[in-house]
């Protein structure tokens, strides 16, 4: 592959991943409203287009048209920086996720991953930590007590749950022996999904993923009923749109990460045995991955419309006194099992 | 004290067992409930295309009836205003002039008759009080408005149209018992009109 061809292919891939994240986030808002409605025995949006499918567009137009308000007492630069960081960080995490097996076209290999850095997991952890800044800066710059409280809650919540999440990942890394998402996805062939070997780690990771994406039951940073809107109380127009959008992209990316880390990524049992041509298998792999992702997005919504919000002290209790010891136990357990049975793969 | 329902439970502040403190079984239970609702039949009524079924005796917007010749029945006696628990009705009475017999049935009529729809609780007591079978509640809804003023409905909105085909049918509001009751000799002056109410 020449350098230009390489550049072109990467640029195209970035564009596709970016577009897909945005479109999925867009339709997640629609799906969320539909799921919420269905679970409450309603119909949900059904006026804009067939089945209300154009609803996200209408919402987007509305967001753009709304009046842009920047409070005079806020610090303007930071006020704008907040949502920008939130949006930016949620968009760039998609870069390390292996969306499917490599395509083989004309003797060249085209991996369906923007970049396979060998510390993929660490990269994601790092980016999610930066994502906290978006919320914190936005909440603080608004100069509003509700925003500040929301921002405080967000930062302490995310920092607390990042620890448990990291510890859950350590056990996974011990088991897989690599930090590269591509290798982790590639090794989960057949029924060797990591969930089978790391059930406890998966539960911890899942709970932490809910907390990291600020989804109910951990939506304390927003908690509409107590803090008006939490960190984005003062935001309007597209800046608010960015925050809300970032949440949905985060949800999409977390679902992708959960599927990749614990649910075999693009693998599906029995399909590999059919001996399909490589490229067809690769495309099917993408389909499987997205099926898993959509399931988890649905799961996120399902939980949101089932569970009430945690109380703040319960949240901290769960994070520090339950999840962290549990994940440490999980590390010890993984270590012991590996001591006796060796690498399980 | 006697319990009001059989479902009353004495609250106990017992310590939760380990299973309960794990919350996982409870969460799974909750998830299964919401999932079941996900596939349930939806109760939404899609309004403009689909309307809710109304009871035949629904109490909605009022109508001031005309008699079979098209004259207004109301004689501005004020009994409806007195009966109204919400004090929603006001009126100004006037005397019928010569030559207005076709417009007003009685010698005295309501020059102004207003019902404040924001005060009205649609109890139907005005209808019950009326000795002239002049006011009835119908199955029409009170339309919305942007200002309070618009909810004070005067005669322009209350009196039914002159046109015989556009008269508002209130026969359903007259239950058999009421119709029978009104055949009493005391209501003799009204009988003929009761029959012609359409
Ligand atoms: S329906 Fe009841 S509240 Fe309304 S005007 Fe008649 S008497 Fe008053
Ligand atoms: S509507 Fe009936 S009760 Fe009311 S003033 Fe007229 S005649 Fe009297």
Q: Which residues line ligand 1 (CB under 6 A)?
A: B 83-86, 88-89, 115, 120-126
**Local structure of residue B104 (DSSP, 8 states):** B
Which pLDDT value is given to residue B175?
A: 65
More confident of the two residues A213 and B185: A213
Q: What is A47-109 written as a DSSP string?
A: SSSGGGTTHHHHHHHHHHHSPP---TTS-HHHHHHHHHHHHHHHHHGGGG---SSPEEETTEE
Contacts of the segment A55-59: beta carbons below 8 A, 24+ positions apart: A55/A29, A55/A30, A56/A26, A56/A27, A56/A29, A56/A30, A59/A29
Determine the distance separating the centroid of ligand 1 and the alpha carbon of B9, expressed in angstroms.
Answer: 41
**Residue A206 at interface with chain B, using a CB cutoff of 8 Å:** no
Q: What is the mean pLDDT of residues B24-35?
A: 87
Which pLDDT value is given to residue A344?
A: 58
Check whether B116 has a pLDDT greater than 70: yes
- Count of other CB atoms within 10 angstroms of residue B25: 10
Q: What is the mean pLDDT of residues B30-35?
A: 89
Q: How many domains does chain A have?
A: 1
Give the distance from CA A298 to its chain's centroid: 13
Residue of the CA atom closest to atom 8 of ligand 1: B84
Smallest CA-to-CA distance from B63 within B150, B171, B189 is with B171
**Residue A204 at interface with chain B, using a CB cutoff of 8 Å:** no
The answer to whether A35 contacts B38, with C-beta atoms less than 8 Å apart, is yes
Chain B neighbors of A306, CB-CB under 8 A: 27, 30-31, 33-34
- Residues 13-32 on B with a CB inside 8 Å of A are 27, 30-31
d(CA B72, CA B10): 62
Chain A neighbors of B37, CB-CB under 8 A: 38-41
Instruction: Report the range out of A132-146, B10-24, B102-116, B178-192 with the highest average pLDDT.
Output: B102-116
d(CA A139, CA A223): 14
d(CA A327, CA A200): 8
Residue A50 in any domain: the answer is no
Residue A11 in any domain: the answer is no
The answer to whether A39 contacts B37, with C-beta atoms less than 8 Å apart, is yes
Determine the residue among A307, A310, A311 to mutate to test chain B binding: the one whose Cβ has the most chain B Cβ atoms within 10 Å: A307
Q: What is the mean pLDDT of residues B181-197?
A: 60
Check whether B162 has a pLDDT greater than 80: yes
What ranges do the domains of chain B cover? 62-190
Tell me the nearest-neighbour CA distance from A132 into chain B, angstroms. 28
Check whether B193 has a pLDDT greater than 60: no
Question: Looking at the partner chain, which of A43, A46, A305 has a beta carbon nearest the beta carbon of B34?
Answer: A305
Q: Are strands B108-116 and B89-95 parallel, antiparallel or unpaired?
A: antiparallel
Given a contact cutoff of 8 angstroms between Cβ atoms, the answer to whether A82 and A71 are in contact is no
Strand order in the sheet with B152-153: B89-95, B108-116, B152-153
The answer to whether B34 contacts A41, with C-beta atoms less than 8 Å apart, is no
Find the helix or strand (DSSP H, E) in which B111 lies.
strand B108-116
* CATH code for the domain defined by B62-190: 3.30.70.3270
**Burial of B102 per CB tally in 10 Å (0-12, 13-18, 19+):** exposed
Count of CB pairs separated by less than 8 Å, A with B: 35
Which pLDDT value is given to residue B1?
A: 64
**Helices A55-65/A3-39 angle, 10° precision:** 100
pLDDT bin (cut points 50, 70, 90) of residue B122 is: very high
What global pTM score does this model have?
0.77
d(CA A104, CA A91): 27
Residue A243 in any domain: the answer is yes
Residue A56 in any domain: the answer is no
Residue of the CA atom closest to atom 2 of ligand 1: B123
pLDDT bin (cut points 50, 70, 90) of residue B189 is: low
Q: What is the mean pLDDT of residues B112-133?
A: 90
Q: What is the mean pLDDT of residues B100-120?
A: 90
The sign of the CA dihedral B13, B15, B17, B20 is: positive
Q: Tell me the pLDDT tens digit for each residue of A24-76.
A: 888 988 998 898 898 888 888 888 888 888 888 888 888 888 888 888 887 88
Which pLDDT value is given to residue B120?
A: 93
Residue A261 in any domain: the answer is yes
Which pLDDT value is given to residue B84?
A: 93
Residue A117 in any domain: the answer is yes
Residue A334: helix, strand or coil by DSSP?
A: helix
Length of chain A: 345
- Nearest residue of B to residue A322 by CA position? B22
Low-confidence ranges of chain A (pLDDT < 50): none
pLDDT bin (cut points 50, 70, 90) of residue B185 is: confident
**Tokens encoding A275:** 């001996």
Check whether B196 has a pLDDT greater than 60: no
**Tokens encoding A316:** 């901290």
Predicted interface score ipTM higher than 0.85? no
Which pLDDT value is given to residue B198?
A: 43
Residue numbers of the domain that contains A249: 68-340
Which pLDDT value is given to residue A298?
A: 92
């Amino acid at each position: 592959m020449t350098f230009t061809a390489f550049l072109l292919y990467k640029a195209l891939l970035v564009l596709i991943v970016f577009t897909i994240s945005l479109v999925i986030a867009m339709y997640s808002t629609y799906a969320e409203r539909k799921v919420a409605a269905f679970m409450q025995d309603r119909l949900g949006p059904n006026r804009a287009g067939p089945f209300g499918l154009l609803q996200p567009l209408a919402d987007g137009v509305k967001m753009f048209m709304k009046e842009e308000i920047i409070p005079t007492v806020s610090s303007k630069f930071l006020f704008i920086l907040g949502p920008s960081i939130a949006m930016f960080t949620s968009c760039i995490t998609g870069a390390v996720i292996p969306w499917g097996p490599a395509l083989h076209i004309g003797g060249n290999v085209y991996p369906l991953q923007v970049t396979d850095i060998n510390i993929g997991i660490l990269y994601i952890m790092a980016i999610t930590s930066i994502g906290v800044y978006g919320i914190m800066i936005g909440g603080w710059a608004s100069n509003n007590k509700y925003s500040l409280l929301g921002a405080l809650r967000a930062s302490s919540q995310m920092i607390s749950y990042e620890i448990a999440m990291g510890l859950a990942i350590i056990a996974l890394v011990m088991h897989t022996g690599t930090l590269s998402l591509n290798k982790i996805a590639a090794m989960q062939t057949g029924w060797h999904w990591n969930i089978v070997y790391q059930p406890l780690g998966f539960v911890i990771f899942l709970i932490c993923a809910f907390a990291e994406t600020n989804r109910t039951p951990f939506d304390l940073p927003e908690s509409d009923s107590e803090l008006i809107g939490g960190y984005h109380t003062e935001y309007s127009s597209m800046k608010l749109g960015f925050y809300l959008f970032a949440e949905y992209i985060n949800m999409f990316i977390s679902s992708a990460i959960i599927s990749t880390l614990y649910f075999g990524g693009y693998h599906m049992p029995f399909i590999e045995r059919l001996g399909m041509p490589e490229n067809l298998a690769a495309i099917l792999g993408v389909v499987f991955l997205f099926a898993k992702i959509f399931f988890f997005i649905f799961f996120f919504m399902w939980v949101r419309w089932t569970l009430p919000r945690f109380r703040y002290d319960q949240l901290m209790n769960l994070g520090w006194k339950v999840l962290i010891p549990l994940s440490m136990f999980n590390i010890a357990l993984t270590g012991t099992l590996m001591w006796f049975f060796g690498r399980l793969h | 004290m006697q319990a009001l329902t059989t479902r009353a439970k004495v609250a106990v502040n017992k310590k939760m067992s380990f299973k309960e403190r794990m919350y996982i079984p409870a969460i799974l239970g909750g998830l299964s409930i919401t999932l079941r609702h996900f596939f349930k039949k939806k109760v939404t009524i899609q309004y403009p295309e689909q309307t809710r079924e109304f009871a035949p005796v629904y109490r909605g917007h009022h109508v001031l009836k005309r008699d079979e010749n098209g004259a207004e029945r109301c004689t501005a006696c004020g009994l409806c205003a007195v009966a109204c628990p919400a004090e929603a009705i006001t009126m100004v009475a006037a005397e019928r002039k010569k030559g207005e017999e076709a417009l007003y049935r009685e010698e005295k009529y309501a020059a102004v008759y207003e019902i404040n729809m924001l005060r009205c609780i649609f109890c139907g007591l005005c209808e019950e009080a009326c000795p002239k079978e002049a006011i009835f509640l119908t199955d029409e809804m009170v339309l919305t408005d942007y200002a309070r003023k618009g909810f004070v409905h005067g005669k322009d909105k209350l009196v039914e149209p002159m046109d015989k085909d556009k008269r508002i049918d209130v026969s359903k509001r007259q239950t058999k018992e009421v119709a029978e009751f009104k055949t009493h000799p005391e209501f003799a002056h009204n009988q003929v009109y009761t029959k012609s109410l359409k």
